[in-house]
Structure 1
Amino acid sequence: MTVTRRNLLRWGAAAAGAVTASGLLAGCGGAERRPVPPLSPGQDPWRRFAGTTINFISENTAPTAAIAANLQPFTELTGITVRIVNLELSALVQRVALDMASGTSQYQVIYADPYQVLAPYSAGLADLREFIEDPSYPVLEGGLEDFIPTQLRAAGSFEQEGPVYALPYDCPTMIWQYRADLFAAHGARMADDLGFDPTPGPDRTWDEYRRIAAWFTDNVDEVRYGTGHQAKQHDSLMCDFSNVLWSYGGDYFDAGEQVGLLGVRDPGRCTLDSAEAIEAARFYDELLAVAHPASRTWDWDGVGAALRAGEIAMCPNWHEFAASNEEAFPGAMGYAPLPSGPTGSANMYGGCGIGITANASGAERGAAWLFVNWATSRGTQLDNLRSSAGGGTPTRGSVYELPEVVRAEQRPSELPNMLAGPAVRAAWEPDRIGLRPKIPMWNACDTAVFTGLSQMIAGQQDPETTMRGTARRVDQIVARGWHA
């Protein structure tokens, strides 16, 4: 993946001021909403809003790059002009906050990050059932049931079943990425030296992963270090650590599945001071001690580049880096779910949806839905897979069943991101998918987490002090609300 993802920064004062203490938008609904023009008898529902111009604000992601490079089919189908604004996520969030608070709708279609847009701003997003259930619009192909269920809930819902605020648009997920050629060349000797089968997958433990990494560093000349990590003081560090945290039985809050899947406004007390979380931090500190030293300066792009440059033999990273991996080492890469801790394998899901601002009105409101419908359709998702400008992998189950896509999971592949398909689908199993807290104040909590972890791996404090201090800081943030 990507690629610039999940670059989560603290809210700017302007964005924070756009909401009330309860998290509801102060200006939402302030402007009078114009009615959507009705469908004329005999009119093509796709041409209903021809001549309309709408704006789509998105993080600069792979699917948006692919769509931006190939908007002509949508324009020809609908007569609608779409202007795409690509931004780093933190800048996107601030613009969305201000736009919603103003009561206008400069951006009709919104890349709705679950943690920075959906959770704090669900009141400012339209419930898409308004369009899905209206027979005057084109049918949503395959219905909501065609989207991968966990992704639909994690990227599209907040607090309760029912309302759908976004349709799943991308689905980056962290998996084990490795040089299969090096494992094949050295696997037998490694197994003899280590005393276990080193084949990557969820049957391996994190401790075995650490030992494999150290073995590569000590015994293989083709790479400098066995593993690398996205351990920069940045959101990437929280993502990297979370895989270990969950696999050790730790979590950020009680009822972690509910907090991560549907989301809540008040998650309760932080549980990072639990024995399981402290043990996970202790292991993570040990893992970073054998990793490439530059790991402390890398986010996902940095560790991905190191893997492609032959600096490391393996790493946890977002699955959508598969295509660029294959360019660097054709036929030599492998993909698997992440190793297991005492409670199993956990694989961070980082997907987002696209939705419609509740303030959109008139023809722009209907045109926005036609774009959301088209942008998440089977055909568009397949075109994104084929695109040389971007890509991403599908969020619809039916796309994975297409013969072309099934074939692409084997080499030679014309859709190289699909080489990670079997591994990532295994990672999406309910007992393996990792979901960070979907709460309005997550951004500030995230900053507290990666700040504490950065101090730990720099040797400034021990794991227990780190986890207990981070838990106290998170509790303070939650108690004050999401402005913190």
Structure 2
Amino acid sequence: MSTPRPENAVSRRRLLTGVAGGAAALAASSLLGGCGAGGSAVTRHPDAGMWRQYQGSTLNFISENTAPTAAIAANTAPFTELTGININIVTLELSALVQKVALDLASGRSTYQVIYADPYQVLAPYAKGLVDLRELMADPSLPQIPLGVGDFIPTHLEAAGKFVSPDTIYALPYDCPTLIWQYRRDLFEKYRDRMSHDLGFDPMPSDASTWDQYYAIARWFNDNARDDVPYGTGHQAKQHDSLMNDFSNVLWAYGGDYFDNGGQVGGLGMVDPGPCRLDSAAAIEAANFYSRLLSIAHPASLSWDWDGLGNAFAAGQVAMCPNWHEYAASNESKLPGKVDYAPLPRGPVRSANMYGGTGLGISASTTADERRAAWLFAVWATSPEIELANLKSKAGGGTPTRTSVYQMPEVVAAEHRPSSMPNILTAAAVSKAWEPQNIGLRPKIPMWNECDTAIFTQLSRMLLGDSGPDEAMRDTAAQINRIVSRGWVASS
């Protein structure tokens, strides 16, 4: 007997507004039709025990192609052995994932029961299409979260798991890529005395390092160390989401923000954030500095996203860069023992380190049994045991979202070389980056995807010399105000 679809499933009209235009909707429809996942087959066996009650069933999980998902996809056997459930995993680039999720939620058929709920492009616009996980946490017939939700790093739980309400939980923190300072320790040590003499400060990255010092260090490498490294710094400054991420660290460090109350807009999120503040004096000062910094960076920075930058750094093209901390594994394989990590430099106001984490959510279009079975996967995939396994995986990696994993003796030991878990070499840097005063949180608003495009498009024009920093910031603010003023289409 089939279970009726939930009454709070998101309307098709509401979901389709999240897909940018008819062409994107058609593309998403094509993607959805091309997927071989098909519908699910979920049947309950109430006498089989908590973990085995859905044995023989099949679930579909849609995810961005991230490190933890790569690790899980390479070895789904432990989950199937524990639960008897087969898990199909579809991995996509983020924009394609967003399109598929939008169409799937709108259809009411839940092809994908488990959703990689990016906070900005899935959770904020489609929160009503996700299950409030508290209903599953309160079910005594289901396994509960090991060590409780309090074991998740607090800033992760708020940013990746909630929207507007501090009580509702839409997703369990699953990954946590964060932009930090990555630098060639071997080159810094080789030239430390010369740089200290020439620059008048110790160049070794520390909590006191500033963006002005970062600029001076980069320029010094350009002028004095070309035999060892072509450029002092590189950036993910392609006309792409990566450019917004790279610039945001400087924006926040200078005291600028996208909207007032940036901590709340980026943490719990808002439906209506008010007027954009990119036309403020602090934001314009940040844009001027960023433009100067990119003028001395590796010229290919304007063509690099995070992968391009990561590959260039590992190939010895730059002495330092801001990049996602999960590139540590690649760094260690290409430059073993030569790379170290620190929080990003301070500006006039603070150090800000862009957080890019995401949680696992469950489609509200699921039947009662589908969502219960999906809960088994979400609890398992975010458990300390699996986060530790992901750290050790040769196929993927990721870093933990749980405090308890960082306290495990073998993980603490792996923070220092030789390390069998190279991503954990960043632990000291990212733990500081995740502190409330240091974490960088982009706006979690329903219209963010369009705002993001406006930001990186105008920044790209600035870096190419087609507009000045003042003009770029004011034009971006005006565009964002028009986007946000349209509001969010109410469900019908």
TM-score higher than 0.5: yes
Determine whether 1:39 maps to 2:46: yes
Q: Which amino acid aligns with 2:366?
A: A
The match for 1:360 is 366
Deviation track 1:122-148 (CA, whole Å, cap 9, x = no partner) reads 000001111111111112101000000
Q: Report the Cα offset of residue 17 of structure 1.
A: 10
Provide the rounded CA distance (Å) in 2 between the counterparts of 1:106 and 1:60: 18
Query: Equivalences for 1:59-458 in 2 at 5 Å?
Result: 59-220=64-225, 221-458=227-464
Between Structure 1 and Structure 2, how many residues are aligned?
458
Provide the rounded CA distance (Å) in 1 between the counterparts of 2:26 and 2:221: 51
Percent identity over the alignment? 65
- SS of the equivalent of 2:249 reads helix
TM-score normalised by L of structure 1: 0.92
The match for 1:11 is 20
Deviation track 1:292-320 (CA, whole Å, cap 9, x = no partner) reads 01100000011111111111000000000
Deviation track 1:334-366 (CA, whole Å, cap 9, x = no partner) reads 100000000010000000001100111143221
Of 459, 465, 480, 2:486 maps to 480
Aligned 8 A contact 2:180 2:430 in 1: yes
Provide the rounded CA distance (Å) in 2 between the counterparts of 1:10 and 1:212: 43
The match for 2:55 is 50
Q: Report the Cα offset of residue 11 of structure 1.
A: 2.8
Provide the rounded CA distance (Å) in 2 between the counterparts of 1:10 and 1:468: 27
Provide the rounded CA distance (Å) in 1 between the counterparts of 2:385 and 2:452: 36
- Is the alpha carbon distance of 1:16 and 1:312 closer, same or farther for their aligned partners in structure 2, counting shifts above 3 Å? same
Q: Which runs of 5+ in 1 are unaligned?
A: 1-8, 19-33
Q: Which amino acid aligns with 1:187?
A: R
Aligned 8 A contact 2:43 2:57 in 1: no
The match for 1:3 is none
- Is the alpha carbon distance of 1:369 and 1:108 closer, same or farther for their aligned partners in structure 2, counting shifts above 3 Å? same
Pick which of 192-201 and 170-179 moved more: 192-201
- SS of the equivalent of 1:57 reads strand
Provide the rounded CA distance (Å) in 1 between the counterparts of 2:91 and 2:206: 36
Provide the rounded CA distance (Å) in 2 between the counterparts of 1:137 and 1:225: 55
The match for 1:468 is 474
Q: Which runs of 5+ in 2 are unaligned?
A: 1-17, 28-40
Provide the rounded CA distance (Å) in 2 between the counterparts of 1:329 and 1:68: 27
Q: Report the Cα offset of residue 13 of structure 1.
A: 2.8
Provide the rounded CA distance (Å) in 2 between the counterparts of 1:334 and 1:255: 33
Provide the rounded CA distance (Å) in 2 between the counterparts of 1:38 and 1:122: 30
- SS of the equivalent of 2:455 reads helix
In angstroms, what is the RMSD of aligned CA positions? 1.7
Q: Report the Cα offset of residue 199 of structure 1.
A: 1.0
Provide the rounded CA distance (Å) in 2 between the counterparts of 1:177 and 1:460: 30
Detail structure 1 runs of 4+ shifted over 4 Å in the superposition: 14-18, 34-38
Provide the rounded CA distance (Å) in 1 between the counterparts of 2:345 and 2:388: 30
Provide the rounded CA distance (Å) in 2 between the counterparts of 1:36 and 1:245: 51
